[in-house]
Amino acid sequence: MKMAIVLGISQMMFGLGLAAANCVLMKRKADLILVVIPQMVFMLCLFGYLVFLIFYKWLSYGGHKPAPYNAACAPSVLITFINMMLMKKEEPVENCLDYMYPNERMIEFALVGIAFSTIPILLAGKPIYLMRRRRKMEQERERDFKRMRRQTIAEMRSTMRYTDDDNSETSRQKSVDNEEEHEMSEIWIHSGIHTIETVLGSVSHTASYLRLWALSLAHDQLSDVLWHMVLTKGFANTLPLYYGVPVLMAAFFAWAILTVAILVMMEGLSAFLHTLRLHWVEFQSKFFGGAGESFKAFSFPPSNQRS
C-alpha cells in the first residue's frame, strides 16, 4: 500500500513538472507562477510529506531495534497524517516517543498552513492578473482613442456629426463593457471549479493508486482459493493409483484453466484498465487538457479566375 502511494505521488509530481516545462516552453509565466507552482507546493506540503513519513518509518523503526524504535512503537503513518490535517495531538504510548522526530508538530502545522495558503492563490491569482492586464490594455486603448478623437474633432465641420458620433461611441462602449463583465464572470467561475478540482483531486487521485494494491490483494486471495479448493483436493485424494492419477490430472487441468482464465486474463485485463485510467486521468490531467480543436468545414478559397 505504501509503495503504491509513493509511486502515485511521484508520477503526479512528474506530471506537474511537465506542466511547468510546458509553461516555460510556451512562455506562459502567469500560469507557471499562479497555477502550476501553487499546485506543486500544495502537493509537496501534504502528500510529499506523507511520502517522507513513509520512508522515515521504514528507516527508523524495525522489529530488531530496541525501544522506542521497535515495531511495537512504530506509529501509524495514516493516523499521523490525519492528526496533522486535523491539528490534533497524538495519544502517548507507554515506553514510546510521542513524536517520530523533534519539532514534528510545529513542522506539520507549518506545512498545513503553507498548503492551505496556496488555495487563495489558485482561486484568485489568475483572475486578478487577467483583470489587471485587461485594465492596462483598456487604459492604453482609451489613450489612443482620445488622441484619435481629438484629431477627428479638429477635422470635423458639422456639429450634428459630432453629436451622432459621440452617442454611437457611448453605446458601443457600453456593449463592450457588458461583454467584458460577462467574460470575467466566466473566468472567475472557471477558476473556482479548477481550484476545487485541484484540492479534491489531489486526495482522490492519491487514493486511486490504491486500486492496484487492492487488486494485488484480490489476486492473492483468488490464487489461495484456487490452490486450496482445487489443486490441493487432487493431491489429498486417497484413491488407488489408477483412480488417483486421473483425479489429480483433472484437478490440475481445472486449476490451470481457472488460473489462466481468472487470474491471467480477467484480472490482468482489469489491472491493465486501472493502470490505463491512472495514466490518463491522474497523470495526464496535470499537464494535458485534451480540449481539441474547433471544427472548421473544408472549403476552397474564393477565386475570381475562370477555369
Domain closes at, from 208, 224, 242: 208
% of the chain at pLDDT higher than 70: 86
> Comparing C-alpha atoms, which of 57, 43, 42 is closest to residue 11?
43
Domain annotation covers residue 294 = no
Least confident of 3-12, 184-193, 205-214: 205-214
**295 inside domain:** no
Segment 6-21 mean pLDDT: 92
Same domain, 181 and 234: no
Is 260 in the same domain as 198? no
How much of the chain, in percent, has pLDDT values that exceed 90?
A: 23
Q: Answer yes or no: do 106 and 60 share one domain.
A: yes
Q: What pLDDT is recorded for position 162? A: 46
pLDDT at 160: 45
Q: Is the pLDDT of residue 188 over 80?
A: yes
State which of 8-12, 144-148, 249-253 shows the largest mean pLDDT: 8-12
CA dihedral defined by 166, 168, 172, 175, rounded to 10 degrees? 110
Residues 252 and 158 in one domain: no
- The answer on 122 and 269 residing in a single domain is no
Q: What is the pLDDT of residue 158?
A: 47
Average pLDDT over all residues of the chain: 81
For the question of whether the overall pTM of this predicted structure is more than 0.85, the answer is no
Q: What is the structure's pLDDT at 178?
A: 56
In this structure, the answer to whether residues 43 and 154 fall within a common structural domain is yes
Q: Let me know whether 44 and 100 are in one domain.
A: yes
Q: State the sign of the Cα–Cα–Cα–Cα dihedral 12, 15, 21, 24.
A: negative
Residue-wise pLDDT for 70-110, tens only, equals 888 888 888 888 889 888 877 777 778 888 888 888 999 99
Task: Count up the domains in the chain and report the number.
Answer: 2
Q: Both 124 and 267 in a single domain?
A: no
Amino acid in the structure at residue 268: G
Q: Are residues 175 and 71 in the same domain?
A: yes
Question: Tell me: the pLDDT tens digits for 22-37?
Answer: 999 999 999 999 999 9
Q: Of the segments 30-44, 210-224, 249-263, which one has the largest average pLDDT value?
A: 30-44
Q: Which positions ≥6 away from 28 have C-beta within 8 Å?
A: 22
Angle at 24 between CA 129 and CA 30, to 5 degrees: 5
Per residue in 142-167, pLDDT (tens digit) is 877 777 776 766 665 444 444 445 55
State mean pLDDT over 208-223.
80
Buried b (16+ CB within 10 A) or exposed e, 29-54: eebbebbbbbbbbbbbbbbbbbbebb
The pLDDT of residue 47: 93
The closest of 7, 8, 1, 4 to 202, measured between CA atoms, is: 8
- State which amino acid sits at residue 168: S
Q: Could you report the per-residue pLDDT of 34-58, keeping only the tens digit for each?
A: 999 999 999 999 999 999 999 999 9
The per-residue DSSP string of 103-116 comes to THHHHHHHHHHHHH
pLDDT reported for residue 12: 92
Q: Is 168 domain-assigned? A: yes
Contact criterion met (CB below 8 Å) for 152 and 166 = no
Give me the pLDDT at residue 170, please. 52
Burial of 92 (0-12, 13-18, 19+ CB in 10 A): exposed
Nearest in space to 270 (alpha carbons), one of 206, 218, 203:
218
Give residue 156's pLDDT.
Answer: 57
Contact 208, 8 (CB under 8 A): yes
237-244: average pLDDT: 73
Domain check: are 79 and 169 in the same one?
Answer: yes
**Per-residue pLDDT, 112:** 94
Last residue of a domain, one of 175, 208, 241: 208
Last residue of a domain, one of 208, 232, 256: 208
Note whether residue 301 is domain-resident: no
**Quick one: 199 and 214 in the same domain?**
no
Same domain, 174 and 262: no
Give the domain range for residue 235.
209-288
